[in-house]
């Protein structure tokens, strides 16, 4: 399977979100990546429910929703109602991760688990077979436009090895600082999905930038 590209709408023009959604629909992007932040789990606040509802109205592609919030279990059903196809929670925010994964899948969504840069992939060895997607943060979460953490390549290789050793079908997603320089190395290490925000939306021709990332 070819790798997937998931542009992060955190870097979009919020005043023209419909225009950027339509651009992504026309592009080779596979997923819309939407970061939800609560100002507690991470020191920033991003999209609320009405904005996600508006994005869904204009999106023709898979909605990949990444919750950077405390106590995400409270909102699983609500995000399904808003149109999420994939719902990713942070390992660090869940005291009963397995229950959260099951609740997400019970609502008919794919269940993702995100790991902050300091969190070891070994912590997923007991749940990896139940997880649809692991999102490795390649920057510290909370703000767009940060630079890529080089240790990510090693984490991708370790995670790929864990997935294969457990005969799991989990996809590996990389979120943060992805660009045309590190994308080939990430793919080579075992990444399946590349999230790109500023690199896409701040480029002169986002549709071409997405095509370039897709063709790596």
Q: What is the structure's pLDDT at 142?
A: 74
Q: How far apart are CA 177 and CA 85, in angstroms?
A: 24
What is the pLDDT at residue 146? 78
- pLDDT averaged over every residue in the chain: 96
Exactly one of 20, 38, 64, 175 is catalytic; which is it?
Answer: 175
Question: How much is the pLDDT for 152?
Answer: 98
Under a CB-based contact definition with an 8 Å cutoff, are residues 194 and 177 in contact?
Answer: no
Q: With contact defined as beta carbons under 8 Å apart, do 61 and 24 qualify?
A: yes
CA geometry: angle 64, 67, 68, nearest 5 deg: 135
Question: What is the per-residue pLDDT for 53?
Answer: 94
Using one digit for the tens of pLDDT, what is the confidence trace for 25-44?
A: 999 999 999 999 999 999 88
Tokens of 86: 């994939």
CB–CB of 86/110 below 8 Å? yes
Compute CA distances 94 → 44, 64, 115, 193, whole Å. 19, 19, 11, 23
Catalytic residue among 20, 30, 35, 192: 35
pLDDT of residue 147: 85
- The ranges of the chain with pLDDT < 50 are none
Residue 35 known to be catalytic: yes
- pTM for this model (two decimals): 0.96
Pairwise CA distance, residues 206 & 150, whole Å: 25
CA distances from 216 to 17, 124, 210 (A): 27, 29, 10
Give me the domains of the chain, ranges plus CATH numbers.
4-214 (3.20.20.70)
> Is 85 an active-site residue?
no
**Residue 1 pLDDT:** 63
């Amino acid at each position: 399977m070819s790798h997937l590209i998931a542009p992060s709408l955190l870097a979009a023009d919020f005043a023209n979100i419909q225009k950027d959604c339509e651009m992504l629909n026309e592009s080779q992007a596979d997923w819309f990546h939407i970061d939800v932040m609560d100002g507690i789990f991470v020191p920033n606040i991003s999209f609320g429910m009405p904005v996600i509802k508006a994005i869904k109205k204009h999106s023709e592609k898979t909605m990949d929703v990444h919750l950077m919030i405390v106590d995400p279990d409270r909102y699983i059903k609500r995000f399904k109602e808003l149109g999420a196809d994939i719902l990713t929670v942070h390992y660090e925010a869940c005291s009963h991760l397995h229950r959260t994964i099951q609740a997400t899948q019970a609502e008919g969504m794919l269940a993702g688990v995100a790991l902050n840069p300091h969190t070891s992939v070994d912590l997923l060895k007991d749940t990896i077979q139940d997880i649809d997607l692991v999102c490795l943060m390649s920057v510290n979460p909370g703000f767009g436009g940060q630079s890529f953490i080089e240790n990510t390549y090693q984490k991708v290789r370790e995670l790929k090895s864990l997935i294969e050793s457990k005969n799991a079908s989990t996809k590996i997603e990389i979120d943060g600082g992805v660009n045309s320089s590190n994308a080939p190395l990430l793919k080579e290490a075992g990444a399946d999905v590349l999230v790109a925000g500023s690199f896409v939306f701040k480029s002169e021709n986002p549709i071409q930038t997405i095509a370039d990332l897709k063709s790596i």
